[in-house]
Structure 1
């Protein structure tokens, strides 16, 4: 199966016949028929019911047509973007980010970057911190925005730039008594069931938050595990417990969750930008400059 076969197939569907499709494609009708036959042989089933006039799509054809259209559209976009990058008219920058960055530094950074580089295609990839180095090595992303608690392992062939360090806040249901306090202790907060995130075997972040509470003398009980922070905060809003978040995440967040300082937690969370070492990339350097967050943690 190839793109020509998909294009000819879609043209036949839209034109209503192979003869009209051939005119639109500026090819001989036999060329269209040959491509359709090869495609059907590859799939092992017919795409058109040729016993009807005009011929109609079979069940397979009805399934295949919208997906073929989408694939052709993606191929055109890839061709346009690749040609633009090759000719220097456009650029491409892959950015990996943890979900919590959507609450804080990422939107502002993207807006600032766009003001300077409006024609650069930003490929945004949501990926946990622990998976970002592999994505950098593979060239899937050019810059990763990660979040860590305490010391973490740093690869010798990658650069790590600390963008933001911030204290923790307790996220509690808006109607819980703790929501009315100006601050809480770790022990007070641990009276709520703890909602751990992210739920992933490679990420120690959730268990590190539990350890932070224990170091402050609390005994948190993990009641729920969420794949990512949006789900964790939704569970808090539903009254199922509480969790910890970085201070920047509380800005313009959910109305059903209160964010309260925890006055006896000393540990903080760090947002770190990761890039490949010894690689000169003007776009990466420019995006790094936009990541400075104006609010102190």
Structure 2
């Protein structure tokens, strides 16, 4: 299957006949007929009822048509965007990010960056910190916005730029008695199940959190494992337990979750921008500057 076959198929479906489609496409009807026959052979079924005049789509053709149109539109858009990048009319910047940063630095940084570079295509990819290095090395993204619990030594080919340190806080249901005090005791927390995240074999974040709680003398009981932080917060809001998150998550807090301190918990997470050591693109530099500026402005509030 190729784009020519899709284009010919959609044109015949719109025109009703090979002859009219050939006139619109400026090709011979036999060429269209051959391409559609090859398409049908590849798909394993007939797309048109050729006994009808004008030709009608078969049930398979009716299924295939809207999907073919969508694929053609996406292909045309990709071609146009790639030509713009190649000609210098616009640029492209790929950013991988952990989901917790949607509540803090990422949203404001993207808004500010787009004001400065309206013609640059931003490709935002949600990735756990542990998955970002492979995407940086492959060129899929230019910047990885990562959150680490515990010390991290970047590999030789990657650079870590510290954006901010983020202390841990406890996410509780808004109606919990500790919500009004702004802090929770170890005793209160010990009676609740822990909602752990992210549930991913490559991530050590959840185990690090459990280790920090154990170091305080707790024996955390994992009630639920969430794939990502927003699911974890949704389970907290439902009253199913508590979660341990970075304090910056509370910047755009939801009303049914309270973020409180656990005074005994002194550990921090670090939020870093990860780039390749040989990365010298001006758009990358501009985004790194924007991230730093946004974070500094947030700290002054």
TM-score with structure 1 setting the length: 0.96
User: 2:104, 2:252 within 8 Å by CA — same for their partners in 1?
Assistant: no
- 1:210 corresponds in structure 2 to 210
User: 1:197, 1:225 within 8 Å by CA — same for their partners in 2?
Assistant: yes
Tell me if 1:295 matches 2:298: yes
Comparing 158-167 and 66-75, the one that deviates more? 66-75
- 2:232 corresponds in structure 1 to 232
- 2:189 corresponds in structure 1 to 189
- 1:199 corresponds in structure 2 to 199
Q: How many residues align?
A: 297
User: 2:169, 2:245 within 8 Å by CA — same for their partners in 1?
Assistant: yes
- 2:78 corresponds in structure 1 to 78
- 1:95 corresponds in structure 2 to 95
User: 2:246, 2:269 within 8 Å by CA — same for their partners in 1?
Assistant: yes
Deviation at 1:13, TM superposition (A): 1.0
Task: Give me the whole-angstrom Cα distance separating, in 1, the residues matched to 2:280 and 2:20.
Answer: 52
Q: Secondary structure at the match of 1:269?
A: strand
TM-score with structure 2 setting the length: 0.95
Deviation at 1:232, TM superposition (A): 0.3
- 2:150 corresponds in structure 1 to 150
User: 2:143, 2:274 within 8 Å by CA — same for their partners in 1?
Assistant: yes
Any residues of structure 2 matched to 1:1-297 within 5 Å, and which?
1-292=1-292, 293=295, 294-296=297-299
Comparing 272-281 and 208-217, the one that deviates more? 208-217
Task: Give me the whole-angstrom Cα distance separating, in 1, the residues matched to 2:98 and 2:19.
Answer: 52
CA RMSD of aligned residues (A): 1.4
User: 1:49, 1:57 within 8 Å by CA — same for their partners in 2?
Assistant: yes
Task: Give me the whole-angstrom Cα distance separating, in 1, the residues matched to 2:273 and 2:188.
Answer: 34
Runs of 4+ in 1 over 4 A off after TM superposition: none
Deviation at 1:187, TM superposition (A): 4.0
Task: Give me the whole-angstrom Cα distance separating, in 2, the residues matched to 1:143 and 1:129.
Answer: 11
